[in-house]
A and B are shown apart, each in its own frame.
Chain A
Amino acid sequence: GEDVEQSLFLSVREGDSSVINCTYTDSSSTYLYWYKQEPGAGLQLLTYIFSNMDMKQDQRLTVLLNKKDKHLSLRIADTQTGDSAIYFCAGPSGAGSYQLTFGKGTKLSVIP
């Protein structure tokens, strides 16, 4: 099955770029996801990337996928205080699996 690892904390200044990193183990993962969780709330699907892509850009968000190293990153440009949250990387647990395996989450703190 899939195993997903993330660093636990990241602190950036408002206006700077944030880069959140994730590594995964299952090379058959077809999709990889980024979710955002604000305090006391559920998970918000931010973006996802197909395994046949290297990069996906969506407004301030850029996802980079390095399949060789099984490394996924999420870059947030011009980080705002509203971006403060926990960010989860997730992937399906095996080819054709419909269940998602999540990392423990990276807590992003934005300093005004």
Chain B
Amino acid sequence: ETGVTQSPTHLIKTRGQQVTLRCSSQSGHNTVSWYQQALGQGPQFIFQYYREEENGRGNFPPRFSGLQFPNYSSELNVNALELDDSALYLCASSLGVGRSSYEQYFGPGTRLTVT
């Protein structure tokens, strides 16, 4: 069974640029959630995708957007990067929605630094 993978591992961008982060869900999982973890904080929910549709969104501006593909992998796109976007971005996959969706398995994360 393949776990959740994310790419790239680290990324440095300049304020105002755009970035795309990628996530491959665990084998058999069809739901992907994205979280932002600032230094010294707990992860904060950005949004979730279930079967290629957005299925819930946290308190993040529209410049944070996402996609889920037919193979259930996902992308997180952030436009007009700000210094406060510097964080560890975590992807979590789960099976379906409802009770089984609560078992979310996380990838290693992408460390984004905005200068």
Contact = CB atoms under 8 A, between A and B. Distances in A.
Given A98-B56, A98-B101, A99-B48, A104 B106 contact: no
Contacts of A98: 31, 33, 48, 55-56, 97, 101-102
Interface residues of A, number: 24
A35 B55 CA distance: 23
Contacts of A90: 42
A62 B58 CA distance: 31
Given A41-B108, A42-B90, A98-B33, A104 B41 contact: yes
A43 B104 CA distance: 10
Nearest to B4: A42
A44 B58 CA distance: 22
Interface residues of B, number: 28
Contacts of B102: 30-31, 33, 48, 92, 98
B45 A42 contact: no
Given A31-B102, A45-B103, A92-B102, A101 B45 contact: yes
A30 B55 CA distance: 19
A51 B67 CA distance: 33
A102 B103 contact: no
Interface string B1-18: 000101000000000000
B89 to A, nearest CB: 10
List the 3 closest pairs (A to B, CB-CB), nearest first: A102-B42, A99-B45, A43-B106
